[in-house]
Amino acid sequence: MKVLIIEDEPNAAQRLSKLLLKENSSIAILGNTDSVESSVKWLQSNPAPDLIFMDIQLGDGLSFEIFKKMEVTVPVIFTTAYDEYALKAFKVNSVDYLLKPIDPTELKMHWKNLKHCVDQISIK
């Protein structure tokens, strides 16, 4: 499975990568972008990933801006420090959202559901 991580704190991105690889070593982390601008650029110039982990607070604004600038058909998991944006997140094509700091057990639990959804979408 190909994953894009959109996260502005380098430590958090690194941590998430490690957790994902630990979960399933066949995951390929395609890259890590840290701003709305660089994420849009990446998505427009690279083949689409299977899944995006997206932080809500990015270096140059809220990641919701990405959806305003382009169409994103890839399933997205939001990671956020607090619940304020929960509702807004579900309006967009979010599969799930995870609270930071990311708990490996939580990730594992969601992963099972997640993989199922992603597989379903790939079949289509």
* Positions that interact with other proteins (CB under 8 A): 8-12, 14-15, 18, 34-35, 37-38, 58-62, 65, 81-82, 100-101
User: How far is 63 from 89, CA to CA, in rounded Å?
Assistant: 10
Token pair in block for residue 58 = 């990015």
| Shortest Å, Cβ 84 to other proteins | 8
Which residue type occupies 43? L
The Cα 34–Cα 38 span in angstroms is: 7
| Least distance between other proteins and beta carbon 7 (Å) | 11
CB of 112 to other proteins, least distance (A): 23
Would you say 51 or 80 has its CB closer to other proteins?
80
Helices and strands in the chain, H and E counts:
5, 7
Nearer to other proteins, 11 or 73 (CB): 11
